[in-house]
Amino acid sequence: METNFQMLKKFKYNPPNRGFCTSEDMNMIVDHFHLKERSDVELQNLRDFVVLFYSEREDRAHDKKEMDEYMQLIDEMSALTGVIDFVKAERGLEV
């Protein structure tokens, strides 16, 4: 398995509708990040890393007034954290 950073760098996600994650998108995220195989701690570590990774990039895009990139990054982070939280909730973990 690759590191969280490597997986995020390879992750390509461009939903046709902003702010909406389909079941196909969810399955793609679960598979790409091996969410079902991760321990509870690994899931939380990935979620924390996703927020850190995207927050930095979002801030830079916002400061440069690159709103399309900014919105794309928000969509990606939202989809990832949402799917991770869904998997955590399925396990009965706190979200």
Over the stretch 33-92, which tens digit does the pLDDT of each residue have? 999 999 999 999 999 999 999 998 888 888 888 888 888 888 999 999 999 999 999 999
Look at residue 87 and tell me if it is in a domain: yes
Look at residue 22 and tell me if it is in a domain: no
Tens of pLDDT, residues 9-41: 999 888 777 888 899 999 999 999 999 999 999
**Residue 64 lies in domain:** 39-95
| Contacts for 32 with CB less than 8 Å, ≥ 6 apart | 7, 10, 11
- In this prediction, residue 60 carries a pLDDT of 85
What does pTM read for this prediction? 0.90
Look at residue 12 and tell me if it is in a domain: no
Look at residue 77 and tell me if it is in a domain: yes
- In this prediction, residue 16 carries a pLDDT of 73
Look at residue 69 and tell me if it is in a domain: yes
- In this prediction, residue 61 carries a pLDDT of 87
What average pLDDT does range 4-13 have in this prediction? 93
Look at residue 48 and tell me if it is in a domain: yes
Kindly provide the b/e burial profile for residues 63-78, where b requires at least 16 CB atoms within 10 angstroms of the residue's own CB: eeeeeeebebbbbbbb
Total domain count, the chain: 1
- State the Cα torsion 41-42-46-52 to the nearest 10°: 50
Look at residue 66 and tell me if it is in a domain: yes
Look at residue 47 and tell me if it is in a domain: yes
